[in-house]
Chain A
């Protein structure tokens, strides 16, 4: 009996002692994440972080589709009806001048998510830019890494300024507010967050200047060809867009002409070759894409496909909610022979065929845009840099089965632009910069809100206003 007790006591102490002696058992490291103090230590980590920034840019909330989607849906009922049930998109699509119209509420999910994902991605780009010293150029040239991060940050600031701030020509860009400028990465420790992490809105001029500076520097750092990543020409193409928004036609001309004359990109022979990248071409992107978000079966969601596309029985590989119903009035803008006039899939709705492919890429910039930009800039400046506006327009026309025009005017150039680039995210910004008027919903109310209406600017998201008292709400949303 006594012996047993001794044995049992020893056993008991041993059992108690195993975990007692191992208090550090509670100190465990995560298995599928990296702690922030070890996650960014090498060049491979740096390039991996840059890839993470591309992943953010590819998100449907950014260039994966939504940034472009809003531009075509917004106050465009006569040409494009939104027949889905996402309240946030219904609000944006139903904006008209009539009192019955929907309003965009400050909790609009698209206003919230586009903002949040852009800043999430900008934070990653900032991390890359702050840690360039890790690069020795073995994995990827240091200049390329820097240029790509600048391209991503500059592009997003440009888009944010256009969506959340007044147009460049609308009042004083040095007074009008755009979005906060965050140019340093956020600390990883809660106790290091400061008031600087609750920034106020910067002016439209300041945000444009930042975007221009980022993209200009990027255009000098990036290589001429860079797979599906940002190239020198992608940066210049973005600069041409900024210049157009600012009415700086000389800069727009210079940038677009450089992209065209680089010779890296060529117009696809047939309009249909630009689309169905996966279904018809196994994922090979056309030579016309200057910058695009690449989709694979493993990665990425084509956000334009989600709303413009639909599952068509006769075309395996198509998908989408079929929410965007193109109206007859838009079709009738096309000449009869125009290939684009027939580029629709008719179900109970009329859907653009551009975005039917479930795994199709999302084009951000195509070469034809550069021709249209060069034509417009040359026309406005009375110059013929690169080529005449007439020749540039006829290039775009010929590809869709249309005969040459004999003369062009600004209206013809802008019409061609709206037909060629329809449903690719240009419409609203083109209306704003040309100080046009959006479309109303009917014959008696042909006009929607004017180019400078506060109804064509997103609200600062309610969620952000609630956590950051320094943010001032946009007009019409107070």
Chain B
């Protein structure tokens, strides 16, 4: 695989370019179709409220998919991702207005793991409406 970032050029604390990912109801409907996850909490406000949610929420896997883009945009090649894990700690609430929600994602190199394999661990932070939505969001990435 061909990462565009060289292992030698990064150090612990290297900051990745952060991103903002807008998400509205249309995005959730589209993601439901693409992923096959048609749970109504992701598109039906009445149903979401009936099960105790404040409103429709984004698929956790949608948020997970957005967060790793900070890594794949940084290295260029998604094949550089060796491991990726998250904990879902808060839902991303997506109101039915013209704005929807915004998922803000930042990342930094937490540790250089292996000089020979040229792997680093990137720690990601994802927030929506000022609250962390992912915990333990970490990716192991093989650099050039």
Answer yes or no: are A and B bound together in one complex.
no
Residues of B within 8 A of A (CB): none
Residues of A within 8 A of B (CB): none
